[in-house]
A and B are shown apart, each in its own frame.
Chain A
């Protein structure tokens, strides 16, 4: 157990639908990062939050949005889902914004869009 909790572990939904993925960072960590990993692809950075504020944006589609709440958990909202959105979505956390530390990843949410 890495200390980063992601729910749900698996999600199957239809095209056009909207889903919410949840992430609870490791205790004491203020930064949350979201990544997408499609089949046989490297991890793609989506977005980072630090203490409730958006800090960096990567290749995140306009159909996707995220937020970090006062209790530091984060949600990634995916809407108007397409087949190509099927992927593993990982959340990672770190103690501070852009410190030297490595990230701690959760076990991911596997999203399947049918």
Chain B
């Protein structure tokens, strides 16, 4: 079972902010939140990750609630090229070879950016 819950689909108007929610209520103290996106069967693309502080990069912003049980990925000015499936994943960060077994990818949120 996926450790995260995301809405199956969302729509956003081009030029507007897209806010993609993710629930991870069972997240552990050593688990990071990662976001990837996959554009039409291409390889997933890393977007951003965070532990407990909000993060921003050239692609997006990540807002993590204080209790860390949910987060929101923000695409500030969505374009048609942002149409993709967005995956929210929690991943433990320890130098432990077994960690990758715990990476569980759900079905993500299919974001449609409309003109």
Contacts and interface: CB of A to CB of B under 8 A. Distances in A.
Interface of A: 2, 4, 33, 35, 40-45, 48, 50, 55-58, 88, 90, 92, 97-98, 100, 102-108, 110
B45 A105 contact: yes
Interface residues of B, number: 28
A58 B100 CA distance: 8
Contacts of A58: 100-101
Nearest to B43: A105
13 contacts: A42-B104, A42-B107, A45-B103, A48-B97, A48-B100, A50-B97, A56-B100, A92-B44, A98-B95, A102-B36, A104-B46, A106-B43, A110-B41
Contacts of A35: 105
A42 B97 contact: no
Contacts of A108: 41-43
B100 A55 contact: yes
Contacts of A42: 2, 87, 104-108
